[in-house]
Amino acid sequence: MIKVGIVGGTGYTGVELLRLLATHPGVELAVITSRGEKGVKVSELFPNLRGRVNLSFVEPDVAALENCDVVFFATPNGTAMRSVPALLEAGVKVIDLAADFRLQQLEDWEQWYGMPHACPEILAEAVYGLPEIHRDAIRSARLVANPGCYPTAVQLGFLPLLEAGVIDPQSLIADAKSGVSGAGRKAEIGILLAEAGDNFKAYNVPGHRHLPEIHQGLSAVAKGPLNLVFVPHLTPMIRGMHTTLYATLSVPDVDLQALFEQRYDSEPFVDVLPPRSHPETRGVRGANQCRLAVHRPQNGKTVVVLSVIDNLVKGAAGQAVQNMNLMFGLPETTGLDGIALLP
């Protein structure tokens, strides 16, 4: 059994990790920490875990964590980096669900996250945990930077096109829509039901922290310089993310459907829909799945890719478990076979 620790389990990625790990056959939940909720039973905060998770939150405690085989950080940005060196030193593997190790360029990270990095020397070692690109590196990684939700949905959508070199990498547009759980379990007025309900808006159009992360990932596969416009929106639902991706085709003729089907043929968690389909976010609610459809409206020069995930699962906790499975040599799908909840 893999002994698992979770740091900062009071947010939505934390409770989703607990939901997935509590029924994972290869895992023993050993410790979960929270300064604010120290001593509180996990199931008091999250009633869905009553009778399923008997842990209580404890003060962050290095010794307890060093006793684990793997530690998940479900903390705000800037927290994991302060503890990771010691854990790695102690032989503990780490999966960070926040952004501390996602950007390889130190300056980029410090600019977008507005603080100095606590362990820049470890950045280079971190593996970006998108298994559909970095599966082998993840298998042998000590430290995995779990991707953001937008970056997961956007990269999986553009990937086949950029790898095949059939689009102009300077023409990328990602119009992304997220449910409010993506903003976290935080006491903020903007995400109240009375504010965000029955409402739709864009946000951070001048610049969102997921832009450099997506740019870095896609640049690595693009043939030439890449340009991306990224516009995130808040949509009045709890879970779910839909990205609508646009790019200009650079070759006169290409079988887009075949391209996508072949690229993801052996991927357990990426599902390409038949031609002329429209994936729905609810179709992957609670499941570790990215579902894609590719269109070429009016047979024009623009390709449109529709990509949906559950932002808390394939966009966060589910992908983290997928990475853990890879890091510990388990079948990649272990504990991730739950069926989406519909309706």
Measured from the CB atom, is 12 or 128 closer to a copy of itself? Answer: 12
CA dihedral 56, 61, 64, 66 (to 10 degrees): 140
- Number of residues counted as binding a copy of itself (CB under 8 A): 84
Binding mask 37-76 for a copy of itself (x = CB under 8 A): ---------xxxxxxx------------------------
Answer positive or negative: Cα dihedral of 132, 263, 248, 300: negative
Residues in the chain: 343
Q: Which of residues 295-324 bind a copy of itself (CB under 8 A)?
A: 295, 297-298, 300-302, 304, 306, 308
Q: Is 153 helix (H, G, I), strand (E, B) or coil?
A: helix
Q: Which of 218, 237, 320, 321 binds a copy of itself (CB under 8 A)?
A: 237
Q: Which of residues 12-41 bind a copy of itself (CB under 8 A)?
A: 12, 15, 19, 22-23
Q: Which stretch binds a copy of itself (CB under 8 A): 58-66, 95-103, 144-152, 198-206?
A: 198-206
Rounded CA-CA distance 257/250 in Å is 16
Rounded CA-CA distance 135/157 in Å is 17
Q: Is 205 helix (H, G, I), strand (E, B) or coil?
A: coil
- Using CA atoms, how far residue 315 sits from 23, 27, 106, 311, in Å, is 19, 21, 24, 4
Q: Does 226 bind a copy of itself (CB under 8 A)?
A: no
Q: Which stretch binds a copy of itself (CB under 8 A): 1-9, 156-164, 205-213, 249-257?
A: 205-213
Q: Which of residues 244-283 bind a copy of itself (CB under 8 A)?
A: 244, 246, 271, 276, 278-283
- Please name every residue paired with 73 in a beta bridge, in sequence order, or none if there are none: 7, 96
**Catalytic residue flag (residue 149):** yes
Q: Considering the complex, what minimum distance in angstroms separates the CB of residue 279 from a copy of itself?
A: 7
Measured from the CB atom, is 140 or 298 closer to a copy of itself? Answer: 298
Q: Considering the complex, what minimum distance in angstroms separates the CB of residue 122 from a copy of itself?
A: 29
Q: Does 186 bind a copy of itself (CB under 8 A)?
A: yes
Indicate the DSSP class of residue 56: B
Measured from the CB atom, is 124 or 339 closer to a copy of itself? Answer: 339
Q: Which of 91, 194, 253, 329 binds a copy of itself (CB under 8 A)?
A: 194
Whether the upstream peptide bond of residue 169 has omega within 30° of 0, thus cis, is no
The answer to whether 218 and 243 are in contact (CB under 8 A) is no
Q: Which of residues 72-111 bind a copy of itself (CB under 8 A)?
A: none
Q: What's the N-to-C CA distance of the chain in angstroms?
A: 34
Rounded CA-CA distance 45/14 in Å is 11
Q: Which residues are catalytic?
A: 149
